[in-house]
Amino acid sequence: MRIDVVSIFPEYLGALGLSLLGKAQKAELLEIRVHDLRDYTFDRHRTVDDTPYGGGAGMVMKPEPWALALEEILEVSPVEKPVLIVPTPSGEVFSQAAAHDMSTSEHLVFACGRYEGIDERMFHWALEHFEVRLMSLGDYVLNGGEVAALAMIEAIGRLVPGVVGNPESLVEESHSDEGLLEYPVYTKPSSWRGYDVPDILLSGDHAKIAAWRKEQQAERTRERRPDLWTRRQDMA
Ligand code: ADE
């Protein structure tokens, strides 16, 4: 999978070279390129923003540097219409299902905006060349799209076959098919500062352990995420 990220703070995306995603790039499972939006400006100040038409607070990102950056990316795309993901609090809420969906794409492009957003005409232009998806991490406001892009790229990248060494660890995790949160986990020692590992986990009875874990998942989901619990009941 190829991933391009456009940002005025390319250093933010440095973390993509670490850990699992860093290894996946070395193994050529992922190819991630980060581009500085200011490289697509021509004035002395490398200006990417201007005041909003109609007035109002803050600055708006100019459309032309975006088009130039994205055109260069389109030239090397392995596909006809790559997916352009624009992190924004006004987007559709990102989810594990969205991550799965995007993990099957050959080419994802992230456009990390700042300030009050990008000139709306950039989106109209982009629709001619990309499958555009406006995505929000959740109902809160970040300073820009970079942190959201990092989160989405990690969630998507780890679903690309081969990136996570043991694919079984993808099956049992929270927000996978069953719509339940993960069960609690313990490791050695069996007694720690007066807190003990539940006896059942030391019993060696695998059927009982599996049933206990399912109960724990249900209890946690009911308590912490009544929204997920209700949705699950409705689907049953
Ligand atoms: N940019 C600013 N806030 C954001 C959010 N909540 N999700 C995605 N991108 C954002």
Here the ipTM equals: 0.97
**pLDDT > 90 fraction of the chain, expressed in percent and rounded:** 92
C-alpha–C-alpha distance, residues 38 and 62, integer Å: 11
- Which residue type, as a one-letter code, is found at position 210? A
Check the CA dihedral 130-83-144-33 and report its sign. negative
- Provide the 8-state DSSP code for 154: H
> If you measure from the C-alpha of residue 12 to the centroid of ligand 1, how many angstroms do you get, rounded to a whole number?
15
Rounded average pLDDT over 204-209:
98
Does 174 score more than 90 pLDDT? no
Does the domain formed by 174-235 have CATH 1.10.1270.20? yes
> If you measure from the C-alpha of residue 73 to the centroid of ligand 1, how many angstroms do you get, rounded to a whole number?
23
Q: Which tokens in the block code for residue 170?
A: 């993808």
Closest residue by Cα to atom 10, ligand 1, is 88
Domain boundaries, the chain: 2-157, 174-235
More confident residue, 115 or 192: 192
Does 48 score more than 90 pLDDT? yes
CATH architecture type of domain 2-157 = 3-Layer(aba) Sandwich (3.40)
54 is in an annotated binding site: no
In this structure, the residues whose C-beta lies within 6 A of any atom of ligand 1 are 87-89, 136-138, 140-142, 145, 148
Q: Which tokens in the block code for residue 58?
A: 């803050």
Q: What is the pLDDT of residues 84-96, one digit of tens each?
A: 999 999 999 999 9
Averaged confidence pLDDT in the chain: 96
Q: Is 92 helix (H, G, I), strand (E, B) or coil?
A: strand
> If you measure from the C-alpha of residue 185 to the centroid of ligand 1, how many angstroms do you get, rounded to a whole number?
31
CB atoms within 10 A of CB 5: 24
Confidence tier at 172 by pLDDT (50, 70, 90)? confident
